[in-house]
Each structure stands twice: as C-alpha cells, then as structure tokens.
Amino acid sequence: MLWDTVRRLEALRPDFVSVTYGASGSTRDRTVAVTRAIAEHTTLRTMAHLTCASQSVERLRQVVGSYADAGIRHILTIRGDMPGGPLQPWVRHPGGLGNATALVELVASLGDFCIGVAAFPDLHPEQHDPDLDAAILVAKERAGAGFAISQLFFTPSRYFDLVDRVRSRGSALPIIPGIMPVTRLSQIQRFAELSGADLPTWVVERLNAAGEDPIAVRRGGVELAVELSRELLDRGAPGLHFITMNRSTATLEILREVEQLARVL
C-alpha cells in the first residue's frame, strides 16, 4: 500500500512527502529505512521526521547522519510522544533533549538542513496557552527552523489567529496548514483525541448525517476538506500539507476540486 501511495502522489509533483517517525525503536528504524528508500528510488523531495522522545543525543546525531548520507536535507523536528502514546506524561531521556527547540538547534548545528517544526491552531494539548504557542514558534525559528506545519484542525479562524500571533512577534515564519481527509468518523475522532485537535460538533453532525453508508461518509469528509482548503488558500495560506495516512485516493479527489493547484503542497 505504501509504495502504491508514493507512486500516485509522485505524479502530482508535490513540494515534498514525509514519513511519520514512530515512538518505538523498531518503528523508528523502519521509518528511517523507508524515508531513505523514497529519497533514493523516486523523484520526490523527501522530508524526514525526527523526534527527541526517548532518544539520546548520540542516537539523534546518528539518525541525522543517516538522513544526510541519503541526500535528505529537509527534516521535520518535533518533540514527539512517549512510547505509550500522546496521553503519557513526557519524560526527558537522561541523555536526551528536553524540547523541540533544542532539537532544532541540534539539527541546525549538524549541517545545512531545511528544518520544519509543528504548530498548533487548536493550542498545544498540554499547555492550552495561545501566547505560549506563538512564543515557542518564534523561538524555534530563531533556533534555525525555516517553516512550520500545523496539526489537524477544522476551524480556519484558529489557524489565522495563530498566524497573526506569530506575526505580531515580528516573525515571518511560513505556517503551512495541515489537512487530514476524513474517510471514517472513528478515524478522525481518534486522531483528534491523540493530537489534541478540536473536533467541532458541526463536523460530527455533518458526517453523522451520512448515516451508516461509508461511501457517503467519505464523500462528506472530502467535501469538508475541499471547503477548508479553498478558504485557507483564498485567505493567504502559503500552501497545504495533506496528512494522507498512507492513502492517496481522498487527497487526489480533494486536489481535483481545489483551485490554484500550483500553490498546493
């Protein structure tokens, strides 16, 4: 399924593709291998993921070196979750880093990388502080980040509020909104729960209106994503980042509907 998705997305010539970096050691090793394989065997610009959860600085340096050896120069740096999942309390590795800003600094010190970071339109699930979220994004930029990708969200105003807070601090950091096509209500409910994103009542009601018909639910989810994508682009978002979850069909359908494809990531 993964390589079928990769090939279908390759035909769209996106700005980049990325592979999520898991919490467990075996998943991380597989992620590094898959990321390298995509970089080596496709025409796609591959962005690697890197988290500092449960990892020593030595291990982080090794992973960055592995990416560099494969010619990968784009890295998305996030703090990450503990092996038990996002709801587990954060515990710093005794030989590791304490946050994503420190990880940005480490990657920037290791070479000429284009570094991305995470942004939270619905507020970070631990702090719930909009001003702190903006301050941290600015700190990440000063540490070496070149762009941010947002978590899943459904309310455009929250994305633009985040952008305004960052701009008010003198930062021009590009913040790319993250879009996740809804193909099953249970899937999006679980993803929102784990990421801390707000799942508005009107979204649930609109998808529930499709009843038990999975095709109708999927169609409704695509329509939601199209509406969100168009509004974001019309109001000046620098592009879109689609969270495909190894499935390309829904993303392809959204792209067919969204105007200004040249601006879509």
Question: What pLDDT sits at residue 26?
Answer: 46
Q: What is the pTM of this model?
A: 0.87
Question: What pLDDT sits at residue 62?
Answer: 93
Question: What pLDDT sits at residue 25?
Answer: 46
Question: What pLDDT sits at residue 112?
Answer: 94
Question: What pLDDT sits at residue 252?
Answer: 82
Question: What pLDDT sits at residue 121?
Answer: 92
84-93: which pairs have CB atoms within 8 A and are 24 or more residues apart?
84/23, 85/23, 85/194, 86/125, 86/194, 86/195, 86/196, 87/194, 90/53, 90/126, 93/52, 93/53, 93/54, 93/55, 93/56
Mean pLDDT of each 10-residue bin along the chain, 265 residues long: 79 84 59 84 89 92 91 92 72 92 98 95 80 96 97 92 97 95 73 67 80 81 90 93 79 77 45
Question: What pLDDT sits at residue 264?
Answer: 45
Question: What pLDDT sits at residue 262?
Answer: 42
Question: What pLDDT sits at residue 141?
Answer: 98
